Amino acid sequence: MTRQQKLVLIGLVLIGLVFALVMLRGGLQKGDCPDTKKCSDDYIADLEDKKSRGEQGGLSATVGGWLISLAPKVAWTNKPESWREKPRFLLSGGVPIEEQVEPDKEKPFRILRMRLTSGTKASLEYIDTDSRTKAPKLHQQPLTLSASDKPEGTFVVTRKGGRLTIGCVGLGPCAVEVR
């Protein structure tokens, strides 16, 4: 081996070692609760509150964010009137709309990404058609999008489809884009 090849090999080994140490450190931690005094219901409720406000997790949230773009998307065959220019729902304040998410026999799970593009806040909820789904958290998925905190969110849509309800919070109009 030449000197240059040895340096490249040493560099790759060092990168692999650093990666393994980071993964090992993360795997040995007991979640977000390193102190046993903090492992109370109050501490766990606070963590859930942080997650609902859109605060990012750690390595898993980052990797999940990269991989979500590769997941199958929901295909809309019956596009609403408001989709002339781009796939979005235009809503007047206070009047929620319901849209049917069609089933897909080929894909057991699909991703539906939504983004608040105008307005201050929108309330969304996806309810799965199949109430016998193995994952009860997927049956009913509420989501609040806020221009200041969390403008984007994701639903997991199962094979049988479901119903999506979208409404503006407050009196003003809002627009929610499908990504």
87 and 166 within one domain: yes
Residue 56 neighbours by CB distance under 10 Å: 10
pLDDT score at 36: 53
86 and 23 within one domain: no
Q: Which residue has the higher pLDDT, 31 or 19?
A: 19
pLDDT score at 63: 56
Tell me the C-alpha distance between 163 and 140, whole Å. 10
**Residue 2 clears pLDDT 80, i.e. is over it:** yes
Whether the full predicted model's pTM is greater than 0.75, yes or no, is: no
Rg of the Cα atoms in the chain: 21
Say if CB 51 and CB 45 are below 8 A apart. no
165 and 133 within one domain: yes
Say if CB 119 and CB 174 are below 8 A apart. yes
160 and 108 within one domain: yes
128 and 91 within one domain: yes
**Residue 114 clears pLDDT 70, i.e. is over it:** yes
Give tens-digit pLDDT for 117-163.
988 899 999 998 876 656 666 788 899 999 888 889 888 888 888 89
110 and 82 within one domain: yes
81 and 137 within one domain: yes
pLDDT score at 91: 85
Q: Residue 125: in which H helix or E strand, if any?
A: strand 121-128
DSSP 3-state of 54: coil
Q: Which residue has the higher pLDDT, 36 or 100?
A: 100
pLDDT score at 6: 93
pLDDT score at 31: 52
50 and 6 within one domain: no
85 and 173 within one domain: yes
121 and 36 within one domain: no
Q: What own/partner pairs with CB < 8 Å and gap ≥ 24 does 54-57 have?
A: 54/149, 54/150
105 and 65 within one domain: no
Give tens-digit pLDDT for 21-80.
887 776 655 555 555 554 444 555 555 555 555 555 555 555 556 666 677 788 877 777
118 and 81 within one domain: yes
Pick from 15-19, 64-68, 108-112: least confident = 64-68
Number of domains in the chain: 3
Single residue among 47, 70, 93 that ends a domain in this structure:
70
Which band of pLDDT confidence, cut at 50, 70 and 90, is reported for residue 166? very high
- Domain ranges, residue 5: 1-30
